[in-house]
Amino acid sequence: MKLYIWALAPNPRRAKIYVAEKGIDIEVIDAGNPDTPALADWYVDRFPHRRVPILELDDGDWIGEAPAICRYLEAQFPDPPLLMGRDSKEIALVEMWDRIAEWEGLIAVSEVFRNTHKAFVGRGLAGYDRDIPQIPELAERGSFRLGLFYDKLNEQLADKEFVVGDAFTLADITALCAIDFAIFRKLPIPESCPNVIRWHEAVSARPSTK
Amino acid sequence: MKLYIWALAPNPRRAKIYVAEKGIDIEVIDAGNPDTPALADWYVDRFPHRRVPILELDDGDWIGEAPAICRYLEAQFPDPPLLMGRDSKEIALVEMWDRIAEWEGLIAVSEVFRNTHKAFVGRGLAGYDRDIPQIPELAERGSFRLGLFYDKLNEQLADKEFVVGDAFTLADITALCAIDFAIFRKLPIPESCPNVIRWHEAVSARPSTK
């Protein structure tokens, strides 16, 4: 198996941290273009999904989308069974919170980044081979949404060590990737969210996140 | 268990079709407001997720997000094991294509609908209790993306009966909910996509989709 990522991007980082947490020995290939902030031509020619991460299987088939990749790897390497949830209810709650962290966090920051950065003019959205104009109002909306995500996460973490409960899961990974991307984009955790600050310090200390 | 939906909305329809396909006997409650196109006050007061569907468990806990609900129900009612995939690779491909159908199909149509409909002024995005202005450019982008989704799905269905392969899965359900919503919004399947038209006729004949 081979895991294709783009070292600069937050979304494939979800799969990279998952693999590091599980200690899975897998070839990781950076599909980024060395010269411009874009995926390499050989990659988008080969994978019409045009996004990272992608997991290429030994039979030549491939799986796109970070949560689908992690779920596949979890089936191959079930121990320890923490990251995707330990029973059917926890599995569902991890998926729910992973989706919240993605939609309200990661995508919100991406809306800010992609719709304001000079290097992404005409590329307002990942995964398309056509011109996608930047929408300044969408960047504003993303920034607003991110603020509400920080508040929601702060409330969720009030009585929990991690996003779903007592175990570090994919939901924490996605929230971390979203927030580190936000910090990079100069949208740091507000001081009004002490639970998020405490959680962010704790999860950032994990070797898998380096 | 209770499944909360909103009869008018395409996203909870995913869970409703899943439940009908599996033949799960479950109480289904419409959380829509009878007077205005919005979720009822009692619902958003009770569930801070502010979205449908939600599955309420017998212990009082609840699960939001359609794919998480379906995965939970699949664990409780595994037979027949078709809708979420039969083995780890198919499970991952169903998740990947469900996400593609959601992101490139359902959300694209929602971008058109929410950012143009008079009844949704100030409510450009579901799930928020704050003013979210409509963004006309986002409606345009959604319409453009939907066209590309039709093309992608047409290509995927060229040599397959269903979206992932030979079995009707959650990916078909989500694609159907997206496309029926698009048809309702007067963005029908283009004639240039005969495989989608053939597939749409076939899946629309299933009793679960009525």
pLDDT tens figures, A168-177: 999 999 999 9
Q: Which pLDDT value is given to residue B8?
A: 87
User: What percentage of chain A carries pLDDT values higher than 90?
Assistant: 97
Looking at beta carbons, which pairs linking B191-195 to residues 24 or more positions away fall under 8 Å?
Answer: B192/B151, B192/B154, B193/B150, B193/B151, B193/B153, B193/B154, B194/B154, B195/B153, B195/B154, B195/B155, B195/B157, B195/B158
Across the interface, whether the CB atoms of A71 and B95 are under 8 A apart is answered yes
First to last CA, chain A: 23
> Dmax of chain B from CA atoms?
50
Q: Which pLDDT value is given to residue A34?
A: 86
Q: Is the pTM of this model over 0.95?
A: yes
Distance from CA of A186 to the nearest CA of B (A): 23
Distance from CA of A58 to the nearest CA of B (A): 12
User: What percentage of chain A carries pLDDT values higher than 70?
Assistant: 100
Q: Record the tokens describing residue A161, joined without a space.
A: 């060590």
Residues of B in contact with A57 (CB under 8 A): 89
pLDDT tens figures, B42-82: 999 999 999 999 999 999 999 999 999 999 999 999 998 89
A134 three-class SS: coil
Distance from CA of A91 to the nearest CA of B (A): 8
Across the interface, whether the CB atoms of A141 and B125 are under 8 A apart is answered yes
Across the interface, whether the CB atoms of A148 and B130 are under 8 A apart is answered yes
Nearest to A144 by CA among B132, B127, B13, B144: B132
Q: Establish if A197 touches chain B: CB-CB under 8 angstroms.
A: no
Q: Which pLDDT value is given to residue B34?
A: 86
Q: Which pLDDT value is given to residue A208?
A: 97
A90: left (phi over 0), alpha (psi -120 to 50) or beta: alpha
**CB half-sphere exposure, A179, CA atoms < 13 A:** 27
Q: Establish if A71 touches chain B: CB-CB under 8 angstroms.
A: yes
Nearest to B95 by CA among A118, A63, A129: A63
Read off the pLDDT of each residue in A133-140 and give the average, rounded to a whole number. 98
Give the total residue count for chain B: 210
Question: Would you place residue B86 in the very low, low, confident or very high pLDDT band (cuts 50, 70, 90)?
Answer: very high
Q: Establish if B60 touches chain A: CB-CB under 8 angstroms.
A: no
ipTM of this predicted structure: 0.98
pLDDT tens figures, A118-135: 999 999 999 999 999 999
B51: left (phi over 0), alpha (psi -120 to 50) or beta: beta
Q: List domains and CATH numbers for chain B.
A: 2-76 (3.40.30.10), 88-209 (1.20.1050.10)
Residues of A in contact with B57 (CB under 8 A): 89
Q: Establish if B202 touches chain A: CB-CB under 8 angstroms.
A: no
- The answer to whether B101 and B174 are in contact (CB under 8 A) is yes
- The answer to whether B180 and B101 are in contact (CB under 8 A) is no
Phi and psi for A4 in degrees, rounded to 5?
-95, 130
Looking at beta carbons, which pairs linking B153-157 to residues 24 or more positions away fall under 8 Å?
Answer: B153/B101, B153/B105, B153/B193, B153/B195, B153/B196, B153/B199, B154/B192, B154/B193, B154/B194, B154/B195, B154/B196, B155/B195, B156/B97, B157/B195, B157/B196, B157/B198, B157/B199
